[in-house]
Structure 1
């Protein structure tokens, strides 16, 4: 049956696909195979108007919003709409089912491969994490084993070093015992076999020095006794008691002064004969070399001071006489640059003591640039600081004075401090002139007071120690903070102001004549019976060498030690002087040389000293 739709260009109002008539239906039914729309035509209608082309824009505002099918049935123009994507895909899939099937199969394959790859990656990551954990565990165990091995190695090294030290100490102790046995044998054979005794004593000293022990006193005593001809012992040329003795700083000269109104200049190396220096008409109270070793100053009871040019070949013919005192000159002291000289004289009855400061480099003649008075009593100490900017004076009146050189008023000194500190005999300045140590008697039953002064704008004397001792000699080691004091009964004490300790040094029984700290740190001391001790202070352990000078008999009048600490000189009441080396190593070298010259060779038990140590 033919209908009016056959003559139309009928399209689906929904998707725009051409409608197809259902021939099998008894009704006039038209179907759209794209969207599945069915349209039944029940009656003949007027010819439908031509369908307007689909508009791309929106419907007019005056047209009602109605269903597209109603619009088509009513003969109104409709919009062409594209079929839904799902329907087009479905139709494309029906038309291309083979390609879709291949695509799906390929997609499934890719998905399977991706899933397998992902699974493999997860497994690999788990294995890598397990391997990292295993590696960290292994590394930790290795570190622990390395630490255990290091501790074992360190422990073994410590034990090895301890055993090495014990072995070295055992060797040193064995060599020390050998040194002591050799010293005992040398002492035993000193009278019966002098040469054998000398050789054993030299070997004992050398072994002790090699094993870092101090030589036995017996061996050094044998060296002193057997090497008498190596000493410079002879009459000094004085006809009366010797009151003072001094070494030059360069170690070539020494001088002595006595009650015979003379000073005598001697040579240590024997190149010059002794030269008498005669310019005083009263006893010589003190002799002192200038720090540059060019001049010798002699103080006398005739109230004068003489300066001798020891570098001149006519030293005895050219004294420079300093006349400025009215009473006996008791002490003289040079500044470190040899320009200034401080002299102290005995006070006249009812008058202040005379302390004069001399400028030795003044034009024409040395001149007095300052008179330091205000002391009533004998001057016991008058000393200049090394830089010449301070002077310390002490008198029997019990007062001490510290003077400051004032550059603004020329070369004049002003009193920086005056205080009553008792009788002060011992005064020592530090090398940089920043400190001062004094040893005083308080007058209360022989009590000794040691003070340390800080020199600056503010002067602060601090008390280091106070104890019962009558001080006769003293010296200071500013580098180590030690003060050594010797008393009238052989007492010898070392006070350390840094540690606050007092260490007694035993060995002397007679009054101490001289104390000196040597450049190597040892302490040299001489008593009035000629016992010389060279003590090394090492905390609680003390190693000391004490020897009696057999050539010196009688009471010791004066003693001195050279600046390098190698020579000691003592004089007695018989007007004799003895000069001897202090270092046992030098004595050992002299002993070996003498044995070789006497017997042509030495039976060596240990190594002989090298040339640079002799």
Structure 2
């Protein structure tokens, strides 16, 4: 570079470093030790005019030309940093290899990214295709599984139907076998008693295993062949027996009669009866307390005796309750065995005496409340299980519902008094929230159901053309059984309104009792005992004539568990025997095993027309 300088000392126009003269050069050269710029000094001369348009040096910019002109003209140079673009260009020129590698790297990365993006797009398309294929496969599998499930369900339904048909066929076959064995046992009863007993016991066993009711013929054979199981014996009374009762625990039973005595019997025949003699007139009723610890006897001598049946000297320690002035007709315990409700016959012109006794009072039982306002013989007097209610009725046609508060001794409250006709039967529900009464009105039976709450609401359920001689209520099944004079028995369901007749009796019904298993036990005056299971409108009944009953029946009672029946006749005899055919069957097998060792039943083929 040649230029004119007016001063021999100058600075580099590019970096500002002091220039040094090149002594070895023949020309007047000045060199920059920092940036390597060489400047040749010459005489200043006027520049030739430049007719061509000015071109801009791509490596320079206007600020650098200005600084060079200033230096050439001898003016001070402003020290400025080169612009960024200039420095980048210079760096690129000096480091073109690195820039080239950088560009190549960028191109490689771009190519790799493009290839990766292309692969990802392909993979995404493949994944979408696989998902679609999987969805189709899954749908087809679900359709196939649904078809298989339908086929399996159909097969299971058919299998269950076939199983039910097979079970029904088996039950029918076993029922048929049971009937055939019963017919054969009846046919050979006189010729081969032991074989007949064996067949009858097997018939009952088959019916029991099949959960069916045993054939009546087989049970009758058991009754006839096991006569010694019936404890037919003199009752110990010297006159007619008027009342019989079983203890709730099933260990004892008691009887009371016109000979002024009550007799306590043990279910175990090896224990001797215990006569209870404390009355000087007829014993009208005997009743055990719910806890089976006491026996109460009511008498026409206007007294009530309490006997401690757990004592070894039961006959020597009666507690005599003297509060009535007339004949005591009925007694009733509360569910907790603490309270006793007794009723006596009304004297002419005076109200009937109905007393509530506290049996746990200090010293001795005491009368806590007196119920009156009846002018006639008391036909029913009943306590609710919780001891809060008492219902009474008499021959005057009026019924009364009493709200009691025996613990505090407050005044009685007559909750309701109405004329409902002659009411003989009263039953409270176990939870003391309902009450069912049966009244006779002009030869018809009027059934009412009471709701016991703050508002007493008696509801007439039905009216039947039957005089109610005996009845019972099953609150769990909403059923009422009614027995009449000609042996008719009807079971009414007050929810559905259906009336189911129970046929088979031909004489006066003495007793009706719903048993714990839901069956209905009925006994007529001729000694026919029926055990009926009601299933809708169809009944399954078993009727057995009690053996060795001569004369009319005076008193009948069935134990709380429904396994024993007690019957007394006009000849002062009493019959105690099992009522459950399964117990008779077990007794028969025990009897046969004791006679011949191991029991083996061989049933002869009965005739087809005897079934």
TM-score, normalization by structure 2: 0.83
SS of the residue corresponding to residue 322 of structure 1 reads strand
Instruction: Give 1:314's aligned residue.
Output: 313
Instruction: Give 2:466's aligned residue.
Output: 469
How has the CA–CA distance of structure 1 residues 115 and 252 changed in structure 2, closer, same or farther, with 3 Å as cutoff? closer
Q: How far apart are the structure 1 equivalents of 2:601 and 2:584?
A: 16
Q: Does 1:489 align with 2:486?
A: yes
The 5-angstrom pairing of residues 231-310 of structure 1 reads 231-310=230-309
Q: How far apart are the structure 1 equivalents of 2:351 and 2:111?
A: 125
Instruction: Give 1:359's aligned residue.
Output: 358
Aligned length: 564
SS of the residue corresponding to residue 507 of structure 1 reads coil
SS of the residue corresponding to residue 471 of structure 1 reads coil
The 5-angstrom pairing of residues 303-382 of structure 1 reads 303-382=302-381
How has the CA–CA distance of structure 1 residues 388 and 412 changed in structure 2, closer, same or farther, with 3 Å as cutoff? farther
Alignment partner of 1:602 out of 599, 607, 610 = 599
Alignment partner of 2:556 out of 533, 542, 559 = 559
Alignment partner of 2:449 out of 452, 456, 459 = 452
Contact 1:561–1:568 (8 Å) recurs in 2: yes
Contact 2:264–2:275 (8 Å) recurs in 1: yes
Instruction: Give 2:222's aligned residue.
Output: 223
SS of the residue corresponding to residue 266 of structure 1 reads strand
Instruction: Give 1:523's aligned residue.
Output: 520
Query: Structure 2 unaligned runs (5+)?
Result: 14-36, 63-70, 604-611
Q: CA deviation at 1:548?
A: 0.9
**Which has the larger displacement, 93-102 or 136-145?**
93-102
Q: CA deviation at 1:577?
A: 1.4
Contact 2:3–2:39 (8 Å) recurs in 1: no
How has the CA–CA distance of structure 1 residues 36 and 419 changed in structure 2, closer, same or farther, with 3 Å as cutoff? same
Instruction: Give 1:507's aligned residue.
Output: 504
SS of the residue corresponding to residue 469 of structure 2 reads strand
Instruction: Give 1:432's aligned residue.
Output: 431
How has the CA–CA distance of structure 1 residues 256 and 82 changed in structure 2, closer, same or farther, with 3 Å as cutoff? same
Q: How far apart are the structure 1 equivalents of 2:550 and 2:322?
A: 38
Q: How far apart are the structure 1 equivalents of 2:96 and 2:336?
A: 123
Contact 1:203–1:605 (8 Å) recurs in 2: no
Q: CA deviation at 1:411?
A: 6.7
Q: Does 1:182 align with 2:181?
A: yes
How has the CA–CA distance of structure 1 residues 412 and 310 changed in structure 2, closer, same or farther, with 3 Å as cutoff? farther
SS of the residue corresponding to residue 483 of structure 1 reads strand
Instruction: Give 2:531's aligned residue.
Output: 534
Q: How far apart are the structure 2 equivalents of 1:554 and 1:196?
A: 32
Q: How far apart are the structure 2 equivalents of 1:19 and 1:376?
A: 159
Provide Cα deviations, 1:484-520, integer angstroms capped at 9, x if missing partner: 2222222222233344433322222222111111122
How has the CA–CA distance of structure 1 residues 89 and 208 changed in structure 2, closer, same or farther, with 3 Å as cutoff? same
Q: How far apart are the structure 2 equivalents of 1:37 and 1:590?
A: 134
Q: CA deviation at 1:344?
A: 1.2
Contact 2:368–2:406 (8 Å) recurs in 1: no
SS of the residue corresponding to residue 253 of structure 2 reads strand
How has the CA–CA distance of structure 1 residues 330 and 131 changed in structure 2, closer, same or farther, with 3 Å as cutoff? same
The 5-angstrom pairing of residues 98-137 of structure 1 reads 104-137=103-136
Q: How far apart are the structure 2 equivalents of 1:364 and 1:242?
A: 33
**Which has the larger displacement, 94-103 or 432-441?**
94-103
Q: Does 1:416 align with 2:440?
A: no
Provide Cα deviations, 1:296-333, integer angstroms capped at 9, x if missing partner: 22222232222233333333333333232222221111
How has the CA–CA distance of structure 1 residues 54 and 513 changed in structure 2, closer, same or farther, with 3 Å as cutoff? same
Q: How far apart are the structure 2 equivalents of 1:478 and 1:568?
A: 23
How has the CA–CA distance of structure 1 residues 134 and 19 changed in structure 2, closer, same or farther, with 3 Å as cutoff? farther
Q: Does 1:584 align with 2:608?
A: no
How has the CA–CA distance of structure 1 residues 92 and 535 changed in structure 2, closer, same or farther, with 3 Å as cutoff? same
SS of the residue corresponding to residue 350 of structure 2 reads coil
Contact 2:380–2:394 (8 Å) recurs in 1: yes
Contact 1:186–1:219 (8 Å) recurs in 2: yes
Query: Structure 1 unaligned runs (5+)?
Result: 39-46, 56-79, 607-614
Instruction: Give 1:69's aligned residue.
Output: none
